[in-house]
Chain A
Amino acid sequence: MPRFVSARPDASLIPLPWNTPLEEWPVSNLVALPRGISRHVVRFIKVGKNVYAAKEVIEHLAVHEYRLLHDLNRLYTPAVEPVGVVTERYDVDGNALDPVLITKHLQFSLPYRSLFTRGVRQDTVARLLDAMVVLLARLHLVGFLWGDVSLSNTLFRRDAGAFAAYLVDAETGELHDELTAGQREHDLTIARTNLFGEFSDLEAGGLLDESLDPLQLVDSIESRYRALWSELTGKERFDGSEMHRIESRVRRLNALGFDVAELDIATDMGGSTITIQPKVVDAGHHSRRLLRLTGLDTEENQARRLLNDLDAFRARTDQQGADEAIVAHQWLTEVFEPVVSAIPEDLRGRLEPAEVFHEVLEYRWFASEEAGHEVPLEEATRHYIDEILRTKPDEALTSVDVMGPLANPYDPSMGYVDDDDTVPYDPWEADAEAVDPADASYFDIDALRARGR
């Protein structure tokens, strides 16, 4: 019987055909969703309303990744949520099968292959690269060495016109107290290589917008990362008469979406030179504030947008002196929730609620400009739903794969149907055929002696 290791088990997973290799699972259990290239067998499985990603991988890696994903979630770092590991799987002949790592499918997520396609706008590209860079910096801040930075291992979610990036594969990751400069350089080197390969691949498939150059893209990622890292952790030296620079550093970090939990401030002997260096910075400055005030869990830019609207609401209703939490509750019930509940049931899968709210605010702004007076929110919501939301594709479970007909719709690593099907001669694999698998753990001292002679 298979065994489940899980912190929050979903009982509906238990009856699935775990004793069958994932590759042979009945289609009725699967959903074809686009995803990155993987060296393992990965399938999306659907049970009830939930979609999970299942990856077949050797035991110590499965357990390692399960724990790491837990740690990343605990550290408030954007990563997919681990659900469990299924071990002790045996096929009908009693052969052991590799364990399966189960993670939650990230709703409303978009794989990179559907984002960098033809006709993509330059500022969209810039925002995607920024999202990737923020993710890498956030991982590095908590001491996580990714080891396999790539677009295939990243998912993007819309974030108030920008994007938020999530880590989806932690197999090669390691969590340290702190990363050394060499470890971060290592991740950057890997990022350069992998991303260059991935962009070149899109280019080779005619899927990368012609205005984009793989080399420029990776250069841009590297320089953006370095700029962000030095803002987050760099030392700043200034004259004692410029004390306002402490405050402005903190504000700059807040604007980037980070909180400063600990700032190291040192003065020289005479007190004329001040050195400051952020020691502990936490991501999620705005999203944590929004969560605290309203209970809404959103991406960082969405939170920023919602908080701005909350501030505007407070001014509009003339409640500057009132308790923030009380005003927030009013805003939630009188402004935010009416917009969200106005979305018809059949359009709920189009965009996340917070993203809809952001788009409604945008829509209202343009509509008001055009009308020359403020369009009421209710009216803006109604028009937005009919004119815009209805025309959007469903993104809760994106099922459009832009790369053309896959040889196996459940596994993009298997290539495309137009490829050649014959198998060329491989001298190495031919050798492996003759091997007795028991030899793997058998040490042949006689052969070694014969060789030494």
Chain B
Amino acid sequence: MATVSFNDATRTYPGTERPAVDKLNLEIGDGEFVVLVGPSGCGKSTSLRMLAGLEEVNAGTITIGDRDVTHLPPKDRDIAMVFQNYALYPHMSVADNMGFALKMANTPKAERQKRVQEAAALLGLEEFLNRKPKALSGGQRQRVAMGRAIVRQPQVFLMDEPLSNLDAKLRVSTRTQIAALQSRLGVTTVYVTHDQVEAMTMGDRVAVMKDGVLQQVDSPLALYDTPKNVFVAGFIGSPAMNLVDGKVSEGGIAVGDFVVPVPREVLAKAPGEDTLTIGIRPEAFEVADGAGVGLDVAVVEELGADSYVYGTLAGLDEDERLTAQQIVGRISTRTPPRRGETVRLSIKPDTIHVFSKENGDRLT
């Protein structure tokens, strides 16, 4: 087991000016499960590969435990990578399929069997050990591939989008199981995905990246409740946070024909800006008794006790509505509004996020 630390780690590809990963600083604790997430090209896979030794580090250092591994070849780093690609060999039993790399490393047979047995127990594959891998499902094949990494007992697991080949159902159940498995094994794990839901449900902490720069690293809840900037606010959460630009006015920020109350000291943090971005999570809306943000309802989706209400700010004509920003609210009410209706929505005061329009930083 080990900690992992990126210290100003930078990777610039030959022939490009902007670094693919720019001065990454990230401390990962012993046994921690950290997920790197971001849109494609954000630098998450490059960061993982720098740690694996597959990408050169142009500046800064990477350490595993107290060893500086910045310039060590991949095989000397004591890491195991779990890929999306895996092949199962039809003549070998599932046990041999999991343990063959140990055989290649000349691990004694008894030790090999013990490790394979343990890994199979963790992966729910005990019943399969003596069988040939005939007709294993995609998920089972994926698990055998994980077993191959587990039996090596590395200091760090690296996983690069390991679920991307699975169908939706299996992806949901497998992500929970992998997270549980990781916490039982207690091996430091760095996991890369482009899927924020996957990141938020699996990681102890989630590192959000964009354009090669780490935006924020925090627990899933902290990322959700206090995103550091507009990018993180919009990226995390599904449906996404409503981000609306509004004019600063007396006592708050105007959203459509309603002024959302914002404390004076928050507004004072951006003295030169007359427009700020206000962020409202869909579930922060409530149907208002009196005044509130006006919403022309376009679509209502009922989900059990709650309804998702989609629409545009009230008072726009038909053409404007077509191009206007869509607002989403998740409201619990017995009588959900109907399509075409205008509703007034209030906002729970402690759930309002305010961001600078100039640099996107959080003000609240």
- Taking Cβ atoms with an 8 Å cutoff, the residues of A that contact B are 37-39, 58, 147-148, 150, 152, 171-172, 176-178, 180-183, 185-186, 189, 192-194, 196-198, 200-202, 204-205, 207, 214-215, 218, 403, 407, 412-416, 419-420, 423-429, 431-445, 448-449, 452
Nearest chain-B residue to A37 (Cβ)? B87
Tell me the bound Cα distance from A193 to B101 in angstroms.
Answer: 6
A62 to chain B, nearest CB (A): 13
Interface residues as binary, B334-360 with A (CB distance below 8 Å gives 1, 0 otherwise): 000000000000000000000000000
The distance from the CB of A229 to the nearest CB of chain B, in whole angstroms, is 15
Seen from chain B, the residues whose Cβ lies within 8 Å of a Cβ on chain A are 13-15, 52-56, 73-75, 83-92, 96-97, 100-101, 103-104, 123-125, 127-128, 131-135, 137-141, 143, 164-165, 167-174, 176-177, 196-197, 200-201, 219-221, 224, 237-238, 281, 283
* Contact present for A147 and B101 (CB under 8 Å): no
Q: What is the total of A-B residue contacts with beta carbons within 8 Å?
A: 186
Whole-angstrom distance between the Cβ of A211 and the nearest chain B Cβ: 19
A196 touches B100 (CB 8 A): yes
List, in ascending order, chain A residues with CB within 8 A of B174's CB.
428, 432
Contact call B83/A172, Cβ cutoff below 8 A: yes
Known: A415-B133, A428-B173. A201 touches B89 (CB 8 A): yes
Contact A215 B221 (CB under 8 A): no
- Is A419 a contact partner of B140 (Cβ separation < 8 A)? no
Q: CB-CB < 8 A to B125: which residues of A?
A: 426
Question: What are the residues of chain A within 8 A of B177 when measuring CB–CB?
Answer: 428, 431
Residues in B whose Cβ lies below 8 Å from that of A214: 104
| A428 x B139 contact (CB < 8 A) | yes
Q: Is there contact, CB below 8 Å, between A171 and B85?
A: yes
Tell whether, in the assembled complex, residue A39 and residue B173 are in contact, meaning their CB atoms are under 8 Å apart.
Answer: no
Contact of B91 with A178 in the complex, beta carbons under 8 Å: no
Q: CB-CB < 8 A to B101: which residues of A?
A: 193, 196-197
Q: State A58–B171 Cα separation when bound (angstroms).
A: 14
**A432, B169: Cβ atoms closer than 8 Å:** yes
Do A172 and B134 touch (CB < 8 A)?
no
Residues on A with C-beta less than 8 A from B135 are 407, 414-415, 423
Q: Could you show 11 A-B contacts with beta carbons less than 8 Å apart?
A: A37-B87, A39-B87, A148-B85, A177-B13, A181-B73, A428-B140, A437-B167, A437-B169, A448-B200, A448-B220, A448-B224
- Known interface pairs A200-B103, A202-B91, A428-B139; A39-B85 also in contact (CB < 8 Å): yes
Tell me whether B172 and A204 are in contact (CB under 8 A).
Answer: no
Per the bound structure, the CA–CA distance linking A178 and B14 in Å amounts to 8
5 A-B pairs with the lowest CB-CB distances in the bound complex, closest first = A415-B134, A424-B127, A201-B89, A205-B91, A437-B168
Contact B104 A215 (CB under 8 A): yes
Known pairs A39-B165, A432-B170; A443 contacts B200 (CB<8 A): yes
B74, A189: Cβ atoms closer than 8 Å? yes
Bound: A443/B201 CA distance, A: 8
Q: Are B197 and A443 in contact (CB under 8 A)?
A: yes
Best-buried of A150, A180, A419, A432 by chain B (most CB within 10 Å): A432
With both beta carbons as reference points, the residue of chain A lying nearest to B128 in the complex is identified as A424
Report how far A226 CA is from B96 CA in the complex, Å. 29
